[in-house]
Amino acid sequence: MKNLSVELTKNSRVHEIDFHNLPFGKIITDHMFQIDFDGDNWVNPRISPVEKMSIHPMNMALHYGQSIFEGMKASRSKDGVPLLFRPELHAVRMNASAKRMCMPELPEETFVEAVHALVGLEQEWIPKIEGSALYVRPFMFAMDEMIGVRASFTYKFMIICLPVGPYYPKPIKLLVEEHFIRAAIGGVGEAKTAGNYAAALYPSKMGREQGYDQLLWLDAEQRKYVQEVGTMNIFFRFKDEVITPSTNGAILKGITRKSAIEIMRDRGITVNERPLSMEEIIERYDDGDLIEVFGTGTAALVANVEEVKYGVTLMRFDSKNWDLSLSIRDEINQIRFGTLEDKRSWTIPAKGVQVPA
């Protein structure tokens, strides 16, 4: 990247961190990346120490929600090399979100180079413990200062990194949401935009009050077909096939979802991406045909589902049948830690950045 300026912190906090007890989402590394869109061009790329930023009260992202993000993970190979996992796919998805939210696209090579630079610089922060990783959070938001609904002309794109432990340390319970919806076809469900997560907070709180970790969303038109969990895509393993809802504009195109499908298909497992109704799920559960349910996401990686509740129907899933999800998680983890040959070239060493003397 041309003109990347780097200012290093004088007080790294990395030695204060207990890498054996990492929460998710609370600890940030020393440095952040920023680049600004001035209305015509992306300018002033820089890496600098993490600090609070001041925002004008008329900042348009605060009022009208032009805010998008990505989530990706970096790991360290057994030989100590910092590895990125499929960063180019995140660059493409970020731009798809930008397009839908009427925001400028960031050249894919700028996105990827910025991730290489920041993760390379922060490599000391990459946890070595299984189940932990460096969570990389690229995000972009409107910067115009104006009250009135229109697309902002100016934007800021940033990347921060967080050493994290597991997002779901335990198997989860899902409640099928029958009243509220997450996304309709034609809406913004496929975009990784902040409002999708905000809209899920109230229904999720109601679900939690009933003892459920997350909601399983249904389609907005008929409340019949499963969509996703909001923090994860969802997979149903039947005896002779695995089904995951086809992405139809209302479901996030998960990169872990894609990786899990590729792993299963390479093993000769039939994976069908198609609409899947609750009626079919219950019928096949009652027949003993549905044996395993799991979610996939960058934060969650592969999460086991122990219970799904739909109205008065309760479906429980026995951990003795979780071999498929556990083996997918294991395969992705081993690729990320360089203990299994990366036949599909999913990982790439973080190149780092030239730091000033």
Residue 190's nearest CA partner among 264, 267, 254, 277 is 254
* Single-letter residue type at 291: I
End-to-end CA distance of the chain: 19
Residue 278 or 300: which CB sits closer to ligand COI? Answer: 300
Q: Are 38 and 154 in contact (CB under 8 A)?
A: yes
Q: Is 123 in the site for ligand COI (CB under 6 A)?
A: no
Q: Is 207 in the site for ligand COI (CB under 6 A)?
A: no
Q: Pick the stretch among 42-50, 237-245, 295-303, 335-343 that binds ligand COI (CB under 6 A).
A: 295-303
* Single-letter residue type at 41: N
Q: Pick the stretch among 10-18, 90-98, 220-228, 294-302 that binds ligand COI (CB under 6 A).
A: 294-302
Residue 32 or 281: which CB sits closer to ligand COI? Answer: 32
Q: Is 296 in the site for ligand COI (CB under 6 A)?
A: no
Instruction: State how far the Cα of 153 lies from the Cα of 37, in Å rounded to an integer.
Output: 8
Q: If you search the block for the tokens 């800021």, which residue do you land on?
A: 156
Residue 192 or 237: which CB sits closer to ligand COI? Answer: 192
Among 297, 305, 317, 322, binds ligand COI (CB under 6 A): 297
Q: How far is the CB of 171 from ligand COI (least distance, A)?
A: 17
Residue 72 or 308: which CB sits closer to ligand COI? Answer: 72
Q: How far is the CB of 291 from ligand COI (least distance, A)?
A: 25
Residue 167 or 236: which CB sits closer to ligand COI? Answer: 167
Instruction: State how far the Cα of 34 lies from the Cα of 31, in Å rounded to an integer.
Output: 10
Q: Is 214 in the site for ligand COI (CB under 6 A)?
A: no
Residue 71 or 165: which CB sits closer to ligand COI? Answer: 71
Q: Is 61 in the site for ligand COI (CB under 6 A)?
A: no
Q: How far is the CB of 238 from ligand COI (least distance, A)?
A: 25
From residue 5 to residue 34, what is the string marking binding to ligand COI with x (rule CB under 6 A)?
------------------------------
Q: How far is the CB of 24 from ligand COI (least distance, A)?
A: 8
Q: Is 82 in the site for ligand COI (CB under 6 A)?
A: no
Tokens of 55: 């925002």
Q: Are 36 and 142 in contact (CB under 8 A)?
A: no
Q: Is 71 in the site for ligand COI (CB under 6 A)?
A: yes
Exposure b/e, 230-257, CB count within 10 A at least 16 = b:
bbbbbbbbbeeebbbbebeebbbebbbb
Give the number of C-alpha atoms closer than 13 A to the C-alpha of residue 141, restricted to the C-beta side: 18
Tokens of 56: 């004008």
Helix or strand holding residue 87 (H, E): helix 87-100
Q: Is 231 in the site for ligand COI (CB under 6 A)?
A: yes
Torsion-angle region of 86 (φ positive above 0: left; ψ -120 to 50: alpha; else: beta): left
Residues in touch with ligand COI (CB under 6 A) = 71, 231, 297-299
